[in-house]
Amino acid sequence: MSNFISKLLVLIFTIGLISTQAFGQDLSNFLKQAKAGDKLAQYNVCVAYLNGIDTTKNPKKAASWCKKSA
């Protein structure tokens, strides 16, 4: 994993206060919005995969959604 992505994931983990639980939505709702291009939903999907919120932790999927949300 590149140094940039590693640092980005650490940053997102650190500021992971925005999570799917904070909005009262589950991952499937965010995925639907994220696939439609919603940048905030893409970020929340990233955080969900990174932290295992409503899903299994998956750093590769988290990195992919982080890139899309940028």
With contact defined as beta carbons under 8 Å apart, do 34 and 42 qualify? yes
pLDDT given at position 15:
57
Average pLDDT over residues 8-19: 60
Model pLDDT for residues 14-65, shown as the tens digit of each residue: 555 455 455 566 888 889 999 999 998 999 899 889 888 888 999 999 999 9
Q: How many domains does the chain have?
A: 1
Predicted local distance difference test score (pLDDT) of residue 3: 73
Which structural domain, as residue segments, surrounds residue 43? 3-69
**3-state class of 6 per DSSP?**
helix
Q: Report d(CA 53, CA 21) in Å as an integer.
A: 8
